Amino acid sequence: MFASRVPIAFALLFLSGCRMGAPVHLWKPPSLESTVGKRVAVAEVLGPKEIAGPVRRKMLALAPSDAGRQIEALAPESLAQHETIRLVSGTDEVNDLALASVARQEDVDYVLRGQVLSRRSHQEDQDEFDSAAPLAVSWRLMSVADGRHAGGRPVVVDLETARKDYPELALIADPAEALATAAAREAYRLVAPSVVRERVQIEIPYLWAGSKEVRRGNLLARNGKWGEAEQVWQKVFDQHPTQTAALHNLAIAAAAAQDFSLAKERIRRVIRRQPTPLHKQSMAWIEQQQRKYHQAFDLPDPPEGWFVTR
């Protein structure tokens, strides 16, 4: 009896969907509120000038400019009414109400203000930049039209992690400048869509026709070669229409390319044939990524609607 159960157990294992992880880049909505297509006044960053100044300069220089993420970052002192700001404020620091009043006259949509929460050096006898210490900057976003505070959030970066996330920072010799660059890039994740790297589950077949080629496509996807992997899976599926693993992986590839309608059409066909836990999880994952994509770029609901998420 035991021997008769072994083939059944293996069959259930293969039908439930063996899987492996593959890296994929996906769009993430802004953490606070989208300011894409808007004019944003970046106020002076409060805190030690040796790091607050570079952070603000990087914020003004590194505003997203690629299609679908454009933000016009402005220095409040460049506005035509900057003298009025000083008169209303009466201090060296421009307060939010004074800045909002002038920004409204200049058709500015948001005011973004930062404050350095940690110093770079804890030595009492000198004010050197401590590149080993994390840099924490708290950001607050205010809507000029109604004075509404859209929220605030800290951004924390350290030099080692920053250079891993942004390899080009290794070309910047000055650690203060490198950290300020990383802090600005992370800050724009608060108000603009950003790309994140995740791992997604693709299916590994063994018993079906074309399984060896599907696994070859999987290795390509694991190495980030999604275009080549998709070609391999498509050829397998064209030759073997019952190869559901190939169709499942094609659905994941479509989602990786932001073609979510095609991805959902493919994964629903897979589930109709084999409603395994992996296939159902993939359906939910695809729609979750589609929701994030629509939120990131403020898109309306898709024509086919939502199937599994609310």
pLDDT band at 4 (very low <50, low <70, confident <90, very high): very low
Torsion sign, CA atoms 213, 219, 222, 226:
negative
Res. 3: pLDDT tops 50: no
- Give the percent of the chain with pLDDT over 70: 83
Model pLDDT, residue 128 = 57
Mean pLDDT of the chain: 86
Tens digit of pLDDT for each residue in 192-220? 999 999 999 999 999 889 999 999 999 99
Query: Does 230 have pLDDT greater than 50?
Result: yes
Average confidence (pLDDT) over 241-247: 96
Q: Is 210 helix (H, G, I), strand (E, B) or coil?
A: coil
List the one residue out of 176, 62, 56 whose CA is nearest residue 115. Answer: 56
Other CB atoms within 10 Å distance of the CB of residue 24: 20
In the prediction, which pLDDT does 9 show? 42
Report the range out of 63-67, 72-76, 109-113, 235-239 with the highest average pLDDT.
235-239
pLDDT at 279: 97
Would you state the pLDDT for residue 1? 44
168-185: per-residue pLDDT in tens? Answer: 999 999 998 999 999 999
Using pLDDT thresholds of 50, 70 and 90, give the confidence band for residue 98: low
The CA–CA distances, whole Å, from 90 to 17, 26, 94, 96, 98 equal: 68, 46, 8, 13, 10
255, amino acid identity = A
Q: What is the mean pLDDT of residues 214-234?
A: 97
pLDDT score, position 89: 38
Q: How high is the pLDDT of residue 12?
A: 44
* pLDDT for residue 310: 66
* Global confidence as pTM: 0.78
CA distances to 32, 33, 140, 165 from 104, rounded to whole Å, are 21, 19, 18, 37
* pLDDT higher than threshold 90 for residue 101: no
The CA distance from 112 to 230, in Å, is 42
Q: pLDDT (tens digit, 9 = 90+) per residue, 68-90?
A: 899 999 998 877 554 554 434 33
Q: Is 108 helix (H, G, I), strand (E, B) or coil?
A: coil
Residue 106 pLDDT: 80
d(CA 219, CA 20): 10
Mean per-residue pLDDT, 276-288: 96
Angle at 60 between CA 56 and CA 61, to 5 degrees: 115
> Per-residue pLDDT for 47 more than 50?
yes
116-169 pLDDT, tens digit per residue, is 997 544 444 445 556 678 999 999 999 998 888 888 999 999 999 999 989 999
**Burial of 235: CB neighbours in 10 Å, binned 0-12, 13-18, 19+:** middle
Per DSSP, the three-state class of 174 is coil
Contact of 185 with 135, CB cutoff 8 Å? no
pLDDT (0 to 100) of residue 67:
85
